[in-house]
Every structure is written in structure tokens, then in C-alpha cells.
Chain A
């Protein structure tokens, strides 16, 4: 019985999971640093520069500080849900990374190692499912706090997510017409062999990008945490590492949505203007591919930050108007046109 299990596969996947989780955490850590630096340079300031060279140890100092803070659970809160909230937020943020193809294939001792934790045939559906679970972290946290501001924020977050997931989903459907597959590895391979999907779906990408901003609770859609109207919203009652989890989850979400956008629209681990197939399965070209994916994702994260420090927050009715009266119809029209064109060329 034991012999029937492919132990090497389990070890290989386990190592891959650990590496992906650690890398995502590291990137989230340094996103906090980058966010402060980006904010600073855009406001003619210097940003963190005391802890280590260029302030590079600042995230470590911040993390240490969060660990040493007093852990407060309000008396009137629902204690089980109060603890569950940040856990859910963190877990769902990490889960999406499971189906993303991080790179090509490695050949080690005659064994081909896929840089994708799970190559499921419903890749995009899985991502969507997990991302919509993410709102539970915010909702449960905000509700369990037993605080009016937090509750308001939880309500806002929930309705915002629902509104924007619709347009996002329809933008993806249009993309599916072109790729013909939900499997993320297939989508990337198609883009490697032909052109990036952004060429076919610029409008779809724009809709997806705006919705991704909303899904990540980033400015101008950060109504759920609205510092100046809701006192930080759903994580107002949180302290210590539970607060850290929420903040971390936000940055991981940002990174993951950057990765998903690069995977869907910008060729994933495809290195632009280079035909990787010509080099075979050389290990260095695979690594370069992983580097290309990370570069693309980090560029998206930086654009997210750039937007945050440019645009003020939407009013709540503006948010709903944009979601239901603008993005959803545009996404529908985009889908119909794509369908017609695909039918016409009988792709």
C-alpha cells in the first residue's frame, strides 16, 4: 500500500508549497516597505531609511513590533470568530497560489518537476472561489468585533466584493472564449506560443484590473478600511499579530492578483521576445521564466501603490454606480463582441 504512493511527488510538492508560501510572505513583507517608499517619493519625502541600508530592515522591525504588542480581544466580541477572522483572511490569501504556474519545468535526475502546486483543470474557477472566500475574513472580523464602525466596514466590504466580482467574472469569460480552457498552465502555454492575451482583450484587462483593485481593498476602493471615516474599519479592534495578519493578507492578495493578471493577460512566465522552447528545458531558462513572472507581478504591485497615492477614495454610491452601471455593462458588451468575433473567425 505504502509503495503505491509516489513519495517523491509528495516531497516535491511539499517543498514547492513551502517555497511559494515563504516567497509570498517575503514579498508581502517588502511590499510594506515598498509602499512606504513609494508614498514617500511621491510626496517629496524620503521614507524609511533608518533601519539598515535604505531602511531595508524596516519590515523586520515592524513585524517584531507587532509581535510585542499586547494582544487584545474585546470582552463583548465573539471570541471564536474574532480569532477566526484574521486566520481566514491569511489562509485564503495564501490558497490562491496553489494553482498558479510559477514557471516551466525542471529536469532533475530524469524526473520532471512542474513549478505548479496543483495543475487543476478549473484553475481560474478555483482562484475565483478562493478570492470570494477572502471576503469572509473581513466580514467575520468586522462582525465579531462587535463595533459599529467595524460592522459598517464589513457590510461595505461584502457588497463591494459581490458587485465587483460580477464584472471581473464576465471579463474572464470573454478571455475564456479566446483561450478555450480554464487551466492556467494551458493559458500560459498558449500565450508563449502566440501573443499575450492583452492584445486580444485590452478592455477585458482594464475591467479585470479595476476589479482587482476593488477585490484587494486598495485605494480608490478601500472603503472597507477607510481610515478617516471608519477608523480603519474591519480591523479596528485588532492588535498585535492578528492585525498583522490582516495587513499581511492585504499585501499577499495584492501580489497574488498581480501574478494572476500577469498569468492571464501578460504571458505568465513567458519572457518577452525570447522563444524559450529553443533552449529546451534548461534549468536557467526556467529560473529566468520565474523571474519574469515575478517581475511582472511586482510591476503590478507597484502600479497598485502608484494608484493608491494618486487617487482619493470613491464615495460609496460612486463605487456602486461604477460597479453596476459602468463596469458590468462594459464587461457584458466586451463578452458579446468577443463571442461574435470568435464565432466569425471560427477560432
Chain B
């Protein structure tokens, strides 16, 4: 019979040899294989104590960035919200009042900035859309939670630690991703 495809494989239907019928050699072979695995390197790690390194392009939870003096960079232009394919970002802008120059970098800032982590698909388009270098995807993943409401992250959760008051926290939160990206 002509084979239907070139990938057809002939099945070996020879009667079993005595060694195969005895079944014991095959068992010993299998046991040797399982025993060899005892001495192999473990595929798993002790998770909370050890963590696997993230890839440099890993996209985790968002951070709202500050500049070197600790002023928020976001101007509530809304480009990230427009770019967001999952429509996870909402924000409200406000005008900077005199005396608030140490808080906000430009005249307009985000009074409210919320990301719904249940909607977010961590695509990183907000990061690419942002003209002010204000939003980055960091190297942490979203922790579990008991209710839906607490997955809507506000400014308090998103804002990066102050670079002067908490330089270590700032550096940790910034991660390699924001650092590697050339500052404009």
C-alpha cells in the first residue's frame, strides 16, 4: 500500500523476545533511570527563600516614577490610558498650586491614578507611550489578594519610594528595566 504521507512510520510488530517477555530486564532498566534521577540537579527551588532571576525584559507591576529630586514625573496627559489595550488605567489631572513645586515636576499632575491589575495584561504599552518617563513596569509580580477592590492600585501603591528619603527602596523599585532604558 502506498503511504499517504512521507512521515508514516512502520510499526514494529515482531513477537516479543524472551527478555522482553520476562519483563524484569525492562523493570531494572526503569529502576536504574529513576535512581539516576536521585543524583540529578533538582528542577525546583525553595521558592520564598530563593527566587529565580527575572529576564531583563520581564514586565511586572507598574511604578509611577519620580525624578532625581523626588518630584512626580506624571503630568496626567492620558497617553498611557489611550495606549492601554485593556483599558486598565484611569486618571484625573490637577493643576499644581504654588508651593507644590517640590512635589510635582510640571504644572499639571495626576491627582488620581489607578490601574486595575485584574484588567492589566502587562504588555508595557503604557511605558512605551509615556513621554515623561513616568511609568515603568518593575520586576515584581502582582501579589494575591482576597477581594477584587484591592486589585485596583492607586497612587499610594504605584508611586516609587522617594529617591532622597528612601534611596535603597527607590533603587530596588526602579529595577534594571528602567535603569537600562536610556534616559531621554
Contact = CB atoms under 8 A, between A and B. Distances in A.
Interface string A35-59: 0000001111110010000000000
Contacts of B37: 41-44
B42 interface: yes
B31 A41 contact: no
Secondary structure at the A interface, as helix, strand, loop or mixed, is loop
Interface string A294-315: 0000000000001101110000
A310 B38 contact: no
Contacts of B35: 42, 306
A46 B38 CA distance: 10
B42 A42 contact: no
Nearest to B29: A310
Given A310-B27, A311-B27, A44 B42 contact: yes
A43 B35 CA distance: 10
Contact of B43 (A45, A309, A311): A45
B40 to A, nearest CB: 6
A277 to B, nearest CB: 37
A45 B38 contact: no
B176 to A, nearest CB: 29
Contacts of A44: 37, 40-44
A167 to B, nearest CB: 15
A309 B38 CA distance: 12
Contact of A46 (B31, B34, B40, B44): B44
Nearest to B27: A311
A49 B46 CA distance: 9
Contacts of B31: 306-307, 310
A90 to B, nearest CB: 31
Given A41-B37, A41-B38, A306-B35, A46 B30 contact: no
A41 B38 CA distance: 5
Contact of A45 (B27, B30, B33, B44): B44
B41 A309 contact: no
A210 to B, nearest CB: 10
Contacts of A311: 27, 30
Interface hub of A44, A307, A309 (most chain B Cβ within 10 A) = A44
- What's the interface size class on B, roughly? 10 to 19
A309 B35 CA distance: 10
Contacts of A310: 27, 30-31, 33-34
A299 B44 CA distance: 27
Nearest to B21: A326
Contacts of A41: 37-38
A43 B33 CA distance: 11
B102 to A, nearest CB: 47
A266 to B, nearest CB: 19
A46 B27 contact: no
Contacts of B34: 42, 306, 309-310
Interface in B26-56: 27, 30-31, 33-35, 37-38, 40-44, 46
| Among B33, B34, B38, B44, residue most surrounded by chain A Cβ atoms (within 10 Å) | B34
A45 B42 CA distance: 5
Given A306-B31, A310-B30, A311-B30, A42 B46 contact: no
A328 to B, nearest CB: 16
A307 B37 CA distance: 14
B18 to A, nearest CB: 13
Interface in A1-56: 41-46, 49
A43 B46 CA distance: 16
B140 to A, nearest CB: 23
Contacts of B33: 310
A224 B121 CA distance: 47
Contacts of B42: 44-46
B30 A42 contact: no
A66 to B, nearest CB: 26
Nearest to B28: A310
Interface in B156-173: none
A221 B31 CA distance: 16
A44 B40 CA distance: 7
Given A42-B37, A44-B44, A306-B34, 13 more contacts: A41-B37, A41-B38, A42-B34, A44-B37, A44-B40, A44-B41, A45-B43, A45-B44, A46-B44, A46-B46, A49-B46, A307-B27, A307-B31
Interface of A: 41-46, 49, 306-307, 309-311
Instruction: State the 3 A-B residue pairs at the shortest beta-carbon distance, nearest first.
Output: A44-B43, A310-B34, A42-B34
14 contacts: A42-B35, A42-B37, A43-B37, A44-B41, A44-B42, A44-B43, A45-B44, A46-B44, A49-B46, A307-B27, A307-B31, A309-B34, A310-B33, A311-B30
